[in-house]
Chains A and B, each alone.
Chain A
Amino acid sequence: MSVYQNTSAMLKRLSKDANRITFSYLSISLLLLLFMVQSCGNSAEDSSDAFKVALLTPGPVSDAGWNASAYEGLQLIGTTIGAEVSQIETRTPADFEQGFRDYAGAGYDLIFGHGFEFQDAAATVSESFPGSVFITSSGTTVRDNVAPIVFEIEQATYLLGMISAYQSKSRKIGAVGGIEIPSVKSSFDAFAAGARSVDPEISVVVSYIGNWEDAGAAKEATLALMDQGIDFIFHNADAAGLGVFQAAQERGSVFVFGSNKNQNDIAPDVILASAVLSIPTAMLTVAREVQNGSFSPSIRRLGMAENVVTLVINSKLRDRVPIEVWDAVAESEGKIRSGELTVPRGF
């Protein structure tokens, strides 16, 4: 009897173990299958001689702003010059480097790192892959095969600062940022400079949330600014910036500005204007140069004069601001275009 019981217990245990083993076996084979499918895909790509372009973004491309524009640029390159394109999202400096290395190793001819923060990784990886060109969006680092495209968004944020200073009742304006990287800080400094060109005494407050995704935190940061009486707010926080618009919609009585892409339609009742960058056309220009061999490594500064940076006013709210203000803004815009007025830059 006891032998029987022991056997039965043992069988039970064995079947439990078998269960577990089956589970592990299934999971592992599923993973292997996935890898196989993926590597098949890769080898198929390697065999073609097409011009290959890749993009690393610091956040999700569904942000309707900075990263979305770059994704559109990549697609434009794909459709216009028939390049093979690929994109990944990278969050940490280690990811940046790994991303560059993976694409360069896979024979990509041109790799965009979309942000100031990609410079170091681009410089490091570029030495091992002289056959690939690395372009960072904003930055100062130049090597034989590394160069930045600097979007002079400051020219537009300067004008946004002017509008704010003309219209602010509390004489307090603010900005919400993701992380304080030089390109973001520079856009805020120009916003402040534009405001001070109108009202030297105006107070400009900047608040950072510490990442690019936390829309809830961005909303609370904006509400906190409003509690302080701030009535004009610019954001440069990518996806989290949506929280800024949400706060403005909820409270009303403030105006906000869009950044990097025309965001006026996202919250047409509160977004007065957007500082817009034509990131796709700039990316296409560089891609064409790399493809036909005319690329030379240098810092490309693209601003209002090149029609890459524009100020887009929300037509629905245009009447809320006196015509004299728009005239003054248009005058300054003309001076920026002609080079008569130089907007301060952080780097």
Chain B
Amino acid sequence: MDVVIFAGIAHAGASFALPLLLAALGEIFAERSGVVNIGLEGMMLSGALGGMIGSYFTGSAWLGLGIGMATGVFLAVIFSTAAVHFGADQIVAGTAVNILALGLTGVVYRRVFGITGSTLSVESFDAVEIPLIHDLPMVGALFSGHTPPVYIGFLLVPIAAWVLFRTTLGIKIRAVGEHPLAADTAGIRVQFIRHGCTLFSGAMAGCAGAYLSVAHANTFVEGMSAGRGFIALAIVIFGRWHPFWALGAALLFGIANALQFQFQAAGSAVPYQFFLMLPYLLTLLVLVIFASRTYPPAALARAYARR
């Protein structure tokens, strides 16, 4: 293998990892506050459509990204109302959001752009090279030459960790997720924190989706999130509800995915299904190794109501 291919793997790895990372960061906040938002997939898909429509009609990729985020928040409001305010089962409510999004995006896309698909290209981001890092072998392709959202995504990791573990807000979020009754007794507004974290996860999932359509594929395809929301959920567990571990998990999955396409492109005689399985297999393997040391938030997926 030569340099081109190494660079290709690193670059593709980061491209695959980014949407997973963004969605996982949001989900970490939601789960730390005790809410499992399995509607990530649906929020991502609607974010992809919202971002594409936004970019198409405003002519600005940044506005598209913002509109994608807003679309994610919109679905998160529905989810949060059911799951946090009314205390509905979070898994059921999240599944409903996923199904709703799958149908809704199809209907809206066909309404706006025609039934058989006009396959538009929308305004996208230009790649930005970071001066010094770009010249480094391997690392250069991993961390440089990307579109701006990728950098923002990577920068969000330390910020998320700082908020979660070094600020009062972070303590409140974690308290609500560990023992909502105790947090409530201490005067923390449990429902308010949970609503906030859920909406944040919706915004991040929407942003991840908008990245897919606006910054990566540059178009919208029905169902294009293709299970990434669920992978992001796995990455949260795999990443032990910690932003840095989630970054590692997302990169591992992304690079494994990039690697398998390079294997296929190299013209191997091994059945392609094996390569497609590789990222999942690797994730599973690492999960098995680290599983014994993970502790989910104690009040995860449990609705809270004052008695």
The CA-CA distance from A207 to B266 in the complex, in Å, is 9
For A208, give the chain B residue with the smallest CB separation: B272
B213-256, CB under 8 A of A: which get 1 and which 0?
Answer: 00011110111101000000000000000000000000000000
- A220 is contacted by which of B114, B224, B258, B306 (Cβ under 8 Å)? B258
Q: Which of B4-12, B154-162, B196-204 is found at the contact surface with chain A?
A: B4-12
Query: Does B113 touch A at the CB level, under 8 Å?
Result: yes
Contact at B221–A207, with CB atoms within 8 Å? no
- Chain B residues with Cβ below 8 Å from A224 are 8, 12, 258, 261-262, 264-265
- Chain A residues with Cβ below 8 Å from B167 are none
Contact at A62–B272, with CB atoms within 8 Å? no
- Chain A residues with Cβ below 8 Å from B101 are none
Q: A16-B305, A216-B212, A227-B8 are in contact. Are A72 and B116 (CB under 8 A)?
A: yes
**Those of A154-172 within 8 Å (CB) of chain B:** none
Contact at A227–B4, with CB atoms within 8 Å? yes
The CA-CA distance from A59 to B223 in the complex, in Å, is 9
Contact at B219–A242, with CB atoms within 8 Å? yes
Contact at B119–A242, with CB atoms within 8 Å? yes
Shortest distance between the CB of B265 and any CB in chain A (Å)? 4
- Chain B residues with Cβ below 8 Å from A95 are none
- Chain B residues with Cβ below 8 Å from A63 are 116-117, 221
Contact at A230–B12, with CB atoms within 8 Å? no
The CA-CA distance from A83 to B235 in the complex, in Å, is 50
Contact at B87–A20, with CB atoms within 8 Å? yes
- Chain A residues with Cβ below 8 Å from B292 are none
Shortest distance between the CB of A213 and any CB in chain B (Å)? 4
Query: Does A136 touch B at the CB level, under 8 Å?
Result: no
Q: Please classify how large the interface on chain A is, using the bins under 10, 10 to 19, 20 to 34, 35 or more.
A: 35 or more
Shortest distance between the CB of A227 and any CB in chain B (Å)? 4
Task: Specify which of A16, A219, A220, A230 lies most central, judged by the most chain B CB atoms within 10 Å of its CB.
Answer: A220
Query: Does A60 touch B at the CB level, under 8 Å?
Result: yes
- Chain A residues with Cβ below 8 Å from B8 are 223-224, 227
Query: Does A347 touch B at the CB level, under 8 Å?
Result: no
Query: Does B307 touch A at the CB level, under 8 Å?
Result: yes
For B86, give the chain A residue with the smallest CB separation: A23
Query: Does A303 touch B at the CB level, under 8 Å?
Result: no
Query: Does A61 touch B at the CB level, under 8 Å?
Result: yes
The CA-CA distance from A230 to B109 in the complex, in Å, is 34
Shortest distance between the CB of B53 and any CB in chain A (Å)? 14
- A208 is contacted by which of B86, B216, B264 (Cβ under 8 Å)? B264
Query: Does B257 touch A at the CB level, under 8 Å?
Result: yes
Query: Does A64 touch B at the CB level, under 8 Å?
Result: yes
The CA-CA distance from A242 to B88 in the complex, in Å, is 39
- B265 is contacted by which of A71, A211, A230 (Cβ under 8 Å)? A230
Interface size, chain B (Cβ < 8 Å)? 45
- Chain A residues with Cβ below 8 Å from B306 are 12
**Those of A78-114 within 8 Å (CB) of chain B:** 89
Query: Does B145 touch A at the CB level, under 8 Å?
Result: no
**Those of B99-126 within 8 Å (CB) of chain A:** 106, 109-110, 113-119, 121
Query: Does B276 touch A at the CB level, under 8 Å?
Result: yes
Contact at B116–A216, with CB atoms within 8 Å? no
- Chain B residues with Cβ below 8 Å from A64 are 116-119
Query: Does A148 touch B at the CB level, under 8 Å?
Result: no
Query: Does A13 touch B at the CB level, under 8 Å?
Result: yes
B275-307, CB under 8 A of A: which get 1 and which 0?
Answer: 010000000000000000000000000000111
Query: Does B62 touch A at the CB level, under 8 Å?
Result: no
For B211, give the chain A residue with the smallest CB separation: A216
Contact at A239–B221, with CB atoms within 8 Å? yes
- Chain B residues with Cβ below 8 Å from A89 are 106
For B261, give the chain A residue with the smallest CB separation: A224
- Chain A residues with Cβ below 8 Å from B16 are 216, 220
Shortest distance between the CB of A240 and any CB in chain B (Å)? 7
Q: A62-B110, A63-B117 are in contact. Are A240 and B264 (CB under 8 A)?
A: no
Task: Specify which of B12, B106, B261 lies most central, judged by the most chain A CB atoms within 10 Å of its CB.
Answer: B261
- Chain A residues with Cβ below 8 Å from B226 are 211, 213-214, 216-217
- Chain A residues with Cβ below 8 Å from B117 are 60-64, 68, 239
Shortest distance between the CB of B111 and any CB in chain A (Å)? 11
Shortest distance between the CB of B264 and any CB in chain A (Å)? 4
**Those of A266-308 within 8 Å (CB) of chain B:** 266-267
Query: Does B267 touch A at the CB level, under 8 Å?
Result: yes
Contact at A213–B224, with CB atoms within 8 Å? yes
Query: Does B15 touch A at the CB level, under 8 Å?
Result: yes
Contact at A71–B115, with CB atoms within 8 Å? yes
Query: Does A332 touch B at the CB level, under 8 Å?
Result: no
For A72, give the chain B residue with the smallest CB separation: B116
- B109 is contacted by which of A62, A205, A215, A216 (Cβ under 8 Å)? A62
- Chain B residues with Cβ below 8 Å from A9 are 307
Contact at B116–A225, with CB atoms within 8 Å? no
Query: Does A243 touch B at the CB level, under 8 Å?
Result: yes
- B272 is contacted by which of A207, A211, A223, A249 (Cβ under 8 Å)? A207
Q: A71-B116, A211-B226, A220-B16 are in contact. Are A228 and B221 (CB under 8 A)?
A: no
User: What are 21 A-B contacts with C-beta separation under 8 Å?
Assistant: A13-B307, A16-B305, A23-B88, A60-B106, A61-B115, A62-B110, A64-B117, A89-B106, A180-B273, A207-B261, A207-B265, A208-B264, A208-B272, A208-B276, A213-B223, A214-B226, A223-B12, A224-B258, A224-B264, A243-B217, A266-B119
Taking beta carbons and an 8 Å cutoff, which residues of A are in contact with B? 9, 12-13, 16, 19-20, 23, 59-64, 68, 71-72, 89, 174, 180, 203, 205-211, 213-217, 219-221, 223-225, 227-228, 230, 239-240, 242-243, 246, 249, 266-267
Top 4 nearest A-B pairs (CB, nearest first) are A62-B117, A68-B116, A60-B222, A227-B8
9 extra interface residue pairs, beta carbon distance < 8 Å, beyond A9-B307, A228-B266, A266-B119: A60-B223, A72-B116, A174-B265, A213-B224, A220-B257, A221-B265, A228-B262, A228-B265, A243-B221
